Amino acid sequence: MSIKKRFQPRLEQREADYLYRRRPLVFSAQQPDMNINGIECINFSSNDYLGLANHPQIKQALIEGLQTQQDLSYGSGAAHLVTGHHLHHHLLEDELADWLGVERTLLFSTGYMANLAVQQTLMHAGDIILADKLNHASLIDGARLSEADFKRYPHLDMQALERRLQQAQAKHSQAMIVTDGVFSMDGDIAPLKAMQQLAQKYQAWLFVDDAHGIGALGEHGKGCFEHFGLQPDENTILVGTLGKAFGTSGAFVAGSSVLIESLIQFARPYIYTTAMPQLNALAIREALKLVKNGQASRETLQQNIKHFREGALQIGLQLWPSDTAIQPIMLGKSDTAVEWSEALKQAGFWVTAIRPPTVPQNQARLRVTLSAIHTPEQIDQLLDALKAIQSTSSV
């Protein structure tokens, strides 16, 4: 059978079901005012929560680095364990660890790789992974690629999680609780205090992917743990990504020295891949300074979230219960979500339609993401456009 014969019918069916995805082409810097697919629009789909992706201080650090640091190249040339581990990588890992109050951190080129590495490396045959039903795809794939049993509990259901932990304890199985910090399509936050208590009670390990919390939540931007006034313990594995609130790219795993050394020695996605560019590490170090001193931006982001939610509820939109920068507008059917998204584009707003399999059936939505550099006027304009679309829709 040819590739075309196998996949052409699936592609056609996906198109018919309003599930086909196309890559938008960007012609501008990453910021609220953008040119996407030739459309001048206000972008409400980026994860650039603090507005750092186009920050002049990061750009200047890169320019100065290229001009003054003769020991700095773009390409790292090899994996970290060969010749790719540059001084800027090493300093960045130390600075992230000091900031988060953990023993060590370890850089990865993407959050997806980090999530694959942790579960493949730490979880063995006879162990059990207990994962929230709505975890990110990378967490699901990491669990499937490990040798451990993989069980999922209903979203945020701590009673169901405890029952699973009791079953694991009865079997003398090492359990790992796996969760997003902020759920990427819903915007709600995992109840980390309860989860940490359960992990300690049943001697389980707690693995938190805080991709959408790091930088954006907590007084100092340390993410969901700081948001709840918690500190990771020695059996906590924390993943943070650097392509969202940090405005750069890459990811890190944070935790104990034994955890990090185990990943260096045994994690295939770490061992067998080229290190991130040296210039990216330099950019992240500059971004970390901005995140550390970004309380004013985080406060502005919270004001923008409050502004949007109050306006959206006032005009009768169905929002998910989220207090984060991710604000889903629930529409149900995939064709409705696509129609609303296209109508917003025509009105000058870029808001992505999220459809199955990314979200459950009949839970298609618009995923509005807010940034500290959105203005109140831009948010009001979006609300006006949504109100106009709603007046002509059957939803």
pLDDT level of residue 7 (50, 70, 90 thresholds) = very high
pLDDT level of residue 307 (50, 70, 90 thresholds) = very high
pLDDT level of residue 69 (50, 70, 90 thresholds) = confident
Contacts of 383 (CB under 8 A, 6+ apart): 308, 311, 312, 315
pTM over 0.75: yes
pLDDT of 185 strictly over 80: yes
Q: Is the peptide bond before 357 cis (omega within 30 degrees of 0)?
A: yes
User: Which tokens is 269 given?
Assistant: 């996605």
Which residues belong to the annotated binding site for substrate? 21, 136, 358
Q: What share of the chain in percent tops pLDDT 90? A: 92
Q: Which domains, from first to last, does the chain contain? A: 13-43+295-391 (3.90.1150.10), 56-292 (3.40.640.10)
Cα–Cα separations (whole angstroms), residue 89 to 53, 164, 284, 369, 374: 19, 39, 10, 30, 32
The predicted model gives 43-69 an average pLDDT of 93
CA dist 44 and 326 (Å) reads 10
Q: What confidence tens digit (pLDDT) does each residue in 193-225 have?
A: 999 999 999 999 999 999 999 999 999 999 999
End-to-end CA distance of the chain: 43
Is 225 in contact with 254 (CB distance < 8 Å)? Answer: no
Instruction: List active site positions.
Output: 184, 212, 244
Higher pLDDT, 66 or 28: 28
Q: What share of the chain in percent tops pLDDT 70? A: 99
CB-side exposure of 14: number of CA atoms within 13 Å?
12
DSSP calls for 133-161: TT--HHHHHHHHTSSSEEEEE-TT-HHHH
Question: What are the phi and psi torsion angles at 94 (to 5°)?
Answer: -65, -40
- What is the number of other CB atoms lying within 10 angstroms of the CB of residue 251? 27
Which residues belong to the annotated binding site? 21, 111-112, 136, 184, 212, 241, 358
Task: Output the furthest CA–CA distance in the chain (Å, rounded).
Answer: 62
Which residues belong to the annotated binding site for pyridoxal 5'-phosphate? 111-112, 184, 212, 241
CB-side exposure of 132: number of CA atoms within 13 Å?
28
CA dist 326 and 42 (Å) reads 16
pLDDT of 394 strictly over 70: no
- 353, β-bridge pairs: 366
Degrees to nearest 5, angle at CA 314 with 311 and 316:
115
Helix (H) or strand (E) holding 306, with range, is helix 295-314
Highest average pLDDT, of 71-85, 250-264, 379-393, comes from 250-264
pLDDT level of residue 328 (50, 70, 90 thresholds) = very high
